[in-house]
Structure 1
Amino acid sequence: MKLTKLFNDFFHSEKSGGIILIICTIISLVLANAALGPQYASIWNYEVGSHSVTHWINDGLMAIFFLLIGLELEREIYIGELSDIKNSLLPIIAALGGMLVPAGFHLMFNFGTDTQAGAGIPMATDIAFALGVLSLLGSRVPVSLKIFLTALAVIDDLGAILVIAIFYSGTISWMSLGIAIAIFIFLLILNRLRVHNLIPYLLAGVAMWYFMLHSGIHATITGVLLAFAIPFGNGDEKSPSYILQHVLHKPVAFFILPIFALANTSIAINAHWYQSLIHVNAYGIFVGLVFGKPIGISLFSYLSVKLKATQLPAGLTFKQIIGAGFLGGIGFTMSIFITLLAFNSGKFVEQSKIVVMLSSLIAGIIGFVILKVSLRPADSRM
């Protein structure tokens, strides 16, 4: 089975980015808990234009990350693995289970409490980290498993985007929202008129981001809307979508996500940090990521195949799906991002970040071990 150049580029970019994310997280935690910890934290809290550096990263740079996610999703839908309904249905159903079950576990612990809003935290999968761990298994990984996990993670991120738009938006400013939508419609018209110059799309995208930022809808949604407004054409190397996607790959993987990790994991861990884990919110996140993700992904996949709604791709086994389900429990970037939207309390934010990192680490290790045991050299035929 042969992978497309686009998919290869995406996979190798994301797996490298995952390794860098791990390094940045370790560096940030060490610096935050060193003697100069307060000075390090002050870098991210420094005010620039009435907003902290961290705020600009989370609302500004992450919009570019979501733009790349949107471009990748568009590619998958038009000419990639999601263009064939038989290929797309299994990861779609698996991703649905991987969102609903973890959210259900969190709500089971937190329904009616102050931390109920955290139900979206264990729903997310970090593409870079998940593919980074998968890449550690080397050439034994079958192509069908790479495609399944990548498609699952991309669909999962789309689900996270919808969750952010619906459940984590503030009071709506209808005027700002209306202007943002008008700009989006204008971009769609440019698309229909076959305007392939990227400059008007990018300039209008910045304006759309500005008004979306002031609308009450989270500004990062702009990235996805812009992605689907940019002409895709036939997806070849001259396509505006293709060009922008490849321009963004390395900056996102090697700059934006590492900066996000550094800014959002500068957590000063005190001597009694473990006491914060004794809380219903911590239980919900941990159970959701470590157990809810693999259960939801595996169960929904199994039922869809047994009910003949989908079929397993050649070379993919249910053991591998279970392993991929645990890798889906690596929430990290997206889970931390939703944490920042879910809670205003610094106490719950710090608590959630710690649990997300621990849960992601445990889920990643379990997934790696399961896949290492289940994969055999014969499985890596391509």
Structure 2
Amino acid sequence: MSNSQDSDNVLPAAPAKVIKTLVAPVRALFVGDASAGVLLILVAAAALIVANSPLAEQYYELFHDALYPAASFKLNTWHLWINDGLMAIFFFVVGLEVKREMIEGQLSTAEQRRLPGLAAVAGMAMPAVIFVLIVGGKSQVLHGWAIPAATDIAFAMGVMGLLGNRVPASLRLFLLTVAIVDDIGAVLIIAVFYTANLQGLWLVFAALVVGVMIALNRMKVSSMPAYIALSLVLWYCVLHSGVHATIAGVAAALTIPMYSKDGKSILGRMEHALAPWSAYLIVPVFGFANAGVHMGGLGWEGVFAPLPLAIGAGLFFGKQLGIFSCIAVADRIGFAPRPKNASWPEIWGVSILCGIGFTMSLFIGELAFPGAGKLAMEHREEAKIGILGGSILSATLGYIVLRLTTQHSEEDEQDEGDSTASA
């Protein structure tokens, strides 16, 4: 009787375990860290399909046809509104996240900033070096040197999210902090190297608005409508100043106070309210508007031209080489220890994931080759090929390396339980 009862208890659990095993990877796609990254993958795939379908012309016209004369307002296409308008909100959220991390988060002390900061700098410098080495003296494409320097937080964290708890928490935190410092570097690059035709009067107006926002911060003013209204004014001033309008998002975010007089987190409330809109609407819309590239017009010569090769190699080889070697040297000389509980193969896998440059790389690519001329358009298309190629390779190999070199904690507990039961 007891054997019969035991079998009754055990047999139903087997199908349940099988179903759970089969469903787990699918569920992982749409929960936690993975969801935003998977959405970006789907959006990029959709953009490529549409751009190479009979709807290609309509796709281009949707985003690039003028909505009204440019004399009325300089953002006269959906593409400009997305890149200069919506993306300012994305940069605002980035600025909020950076400020929170710098004040009371994972970048709040010199010790915490040491390794991620060094790794991020090396991870931006090495791709740029590889880019320059490949394109050589082709001055017309050298302007795109910063394209492979950026890491896409959502995409990289999404791929890591697919692995569940297999990856040590310390490595998740390391990837996030490297990507945040990377974003700071990308913002500085945009502000310094992709700014032209400065308009002094508009810059003065922008500085005055920032001054007012800082004064409100000092006085502990907690009115979110006031900060939002001033942020919009700042964006308008920066838009006309010659500095890219998205920099206004970061500048405005840095003036938002952490706490009000009654101790409530103003910055936290803003970040919590805007982060989902940024991750699940703004970034996907930007990706769909910018990732579509018509492959038929490029041919094999365009796909393997110096520009896409330099970008792809910079993302795939440059990122992992710069970050991994930096961590190894810092750990060896005692400057900063490697992430806790992480093996060197796991660190290599995360270093590879940092080569996913989708959102920020696409954004810099648009800035690097502006204009409606044929050559500029060809360079933008080639840049997209390099970004997508390097990002896909980095995502695929990074996932494989981490999958093969990490051990799921739940599986460990399951194994221990099975061993105890059998004993």
TM-score, scaled relative to structure 2: 0.84
Task: Report Cα offsets for 1:16-44 as digits up to 9, x if no partner.
Answer: 21111111111121122222221122111
Paired amino acid for 2:206: A
User: How much identity, in percent, do the aligned residues show?
Assistant: 36
Return the offset for 1:314: 1.9
Return the offset for 1:200: 1.0
Q: Is the 8 A contact 1:315 1:379 kept in 2?
A: no
Return the offset for 1:131: 0.5
Q: How does 1:69-148 map to 2 (within 5 A)?
A: 69-113=94-138, 114-148=140-174
Task: Report Cα offsets for 1:140-183 as digits up to 9, x if no partner.
Answer: 12110110001111110110000000001111111111111111
Cα 1:278/1:154, change in 2 over 3 Å: same
Task: Report Cα offsets for 1:22-77 as digits up to 9, x if no partner.
Answer: 11111121122222221122111132343210111001100100111111111111
Return the offset for 1:194: 0.5
Structure 2 residue aligned with 1:60: 85
Q: Is the 8 A contact 1:235 1:242 kept in 2?
A: no
Question: 2 CA distance for matches of 1:282 and 1:236?
Answer: 53
Question: 2 CA distance for matches of 1:235 and 1:82?
Answer: 24
Return the offset for 1:249: 1.2
Paired amino acid for 1:109: I
Q: Is the 8 A contact 1:139 1:380 kept in 2?
A: no
Return the offset for 1:279: 2.1
Structure 1 residue aligned with 2:394: 363
Paired amino acid for 1:70: G
Structure 2 residue aligned with 1:28: 47
Aligned residue for 1:48, secondary structure, equals coil
Paired amino acid for 2:150: A
Q: How does 1:162-241 map to 2 (within 5 A)?
A: 162-233=188-259, 238-241=264-267
Tell which deviates more after alignment, 33-42 or 371-380: 371-380
Return the offset for 1:128: 0.7
- Which of 43, 46, 55 does residue 65 from structure 2 map onto? 46
Aligned residue for 2:288, secondary structure, equals helix
**Structure 2 residue 383 is matched with structure 1 residue 352:** yes
Question: 2 CA distance for matches of 1:232 and 1:290?
Answer: 37
Aligned residue for 1:47, secondary structure, equals coil
Return the offset for 1:14: 5.4
Return the offset for 1:107: 1.2
Q: Is the 8 A contact 2:220 2:261 kept in 1?
A: no
Return the offset for 1:272: 5.2
Tell which deviates more after alignment, 42-51 or 356-365: 42-51
Count of residues in correspondence between the two structures:
371
Ranked by relative contact order (alpha carbons within 8 Å, sequence separation 6 or more), the top structure is 1
Cα 1:176/1:84, change in 2 over 3 Å: same
Aligned residue for 1:330, secondary structure, equals coil
Tell which deviates more after alignment, 52-61 or 37-46: 37-46
**Structure 2 residue 374 is matched with structure 1 residue 343:** no
Unaligned ranges ≥5, structure 1: 1-11
Q: Is the 8 A contact 1:87 1:313 kept in 2?
A: no
**Structure 2 residue 307 is matched with structure 1 residue 281:** yes
Aligned residue for 2:144, secondary structure, equals helix
Return the offset for 1:193: 0.5
Question: 1 CA distance for matches of 2:188 and 2:33?
Answer: 22
Question: 2 CA distance for matches of 1:329 and 1:281?
Answer: 17
RMSD of aligned C-alpha atoms? 2.0
Q: How does 1:248-327 map to 2 (within 5 A)?
A: 248-270=274-296, 273-327=299-353
Tell which deviates more after alignment, 264-273 or 220-229: 264-273
Question: 1 CA distance for matches of 2:379 and 2:32?
Answer: 33
TM-score, scaled relative to structure 1: 0.93
Question: 1 CA distance for matches of 2:110 and 2:297?
Answer: 52
**Structure 2 residue 329 is matched with structure 1 residue 329:** no
- Which of 35, 43, 54 does residue 16 from structure 1 map onto? 35
Return the offset for 1:379: 9.8
Question: 1 CA distance for matches of 2:42 and 2:262?
Answer: 35
Return the offset for 1:189: 0.6
Question: 1 CA distance for matches of 2:136 and 2:252?
Answer: 35
Question: 1 CA distance for matches of 2:263 and 2:278?
Answer: 20
Return the offset for 1:276: 0.6
Return the offset for 1:380: 9.5
Question: 2 CA distance for matches of 1:112 and 1:233?
Answer: 51
Question: 2 CA distance for matches of 1:359 and 1:110?
Answer: 16
Paired amino acid for 2:163: L
Q: Is the 8 A contact 1:79 1:235 kept in 2?
A: no
Q: Is the 8 A contact 1:142 1:380 kept in 2?
A: no
Between Structure 1 and Structure 2, whose CA radius of gyration is higher?
Answer: 2
Return the offset for 1:109: 2.1
Paired amino acid for 2:144: G
**Structure 2 residue 273 is matched with structure 1 residue 247:** yes
Question: 1 CA distance for matches of 2:238 and 2:395?
Answer: 35
Structure 2 residue aligned with 1:9: none
Cα 1:338/1:237, change in 2 over 3 Å: farther
Tell which deviates more after alignment, 13-22 or 143-152: 13-22
